[in-house]
Amino acid sequence: MMNTQLIFACMGIMGKGMLGIFTVILTIWALVSLLNRVTGKRG
């Protein structure tokens, strides 16, 4: 028998983890984009 309350609790934890990973990736992408604009393309 599956404990649905436990499954929903695990889903919430997984959702927070995935949101955290997405936030970090978005932040790194924004920093790289900003550095590319600031330094310019020389070459």
The reported pLDDT for the residue numbered 42 is: 66
The reported pLDDT for the residue numbered 26 is: 98
The reported pLDDT for the residue numbered 36 is: 92
The reported pLDDT for the residue numbered 40 is: 84
Comparing CA positions, the residue from 1, 3, 21 lying closest to residue 13 is 21
Q: In which residue ranges of the chain is pLDDT below 70? A: 42-43
Could you give the CA distance from residue 34 to residue 40 in angstroms, rounded to a whole number? 10
